Amino acid sequence: MKTFEELKATFTQELLELEQLAGTWPSTIEKRHVKEHEIGRQCYEAEEDFSQLELGTLKRALGINDTRWRAFKTKFIAGSSPEELAPTRCATSFKLSKKGGKNEERTKEM
């Protein structure tokens, strides 16, 4: 777990690097996507480690409103593989329709 000051410094550096990637070249777009993904991951970590009061203080210090905070989190979710989001495997049941009106239940590993 990072301290508040460590996380603030990390966010400040990441946001500065993101600003520097403002171009529209294909390689810049890819780098910006990776940077936004990383910032989104850090947003989730901050929410796990800090109180709402501390999060509010962090967002104000960084100049990030709730909409932008959620946008970074969305970038993380959109760019994550299922393994990154849910490292444990789980079984999900679902029903398949079959001809003749019978349903077949199956379990699928995820």
* pTM value > 0.75: no
Neighbours of 36 (CB within 10 A): 20
CB 73 within 8 A of CB 40: yes
Residue 100 Rama label (left phi>0; alpha psi -120 to 50; beta): left
Is 91 part of any domain?
no
Residue by residue, pLDDT tens for the chain (110 residues) are 789 999 999 999 999 999 888 876 777 888 888 999 999 999 999 999 999 999 999 999 999 999 999 999 999 998 765 555 554 333 333 344 444 455 444 444 43
Q: Considering its fold, how many domains does the chain have in total?
A: 1
Residue 42's domain spans which residues?
4-85
Taking phi over 0 as left and psi of -120 to 50 as alpha, with beta for the rest, 66 belongs to alpha
In a domain, 107, yes or no: no
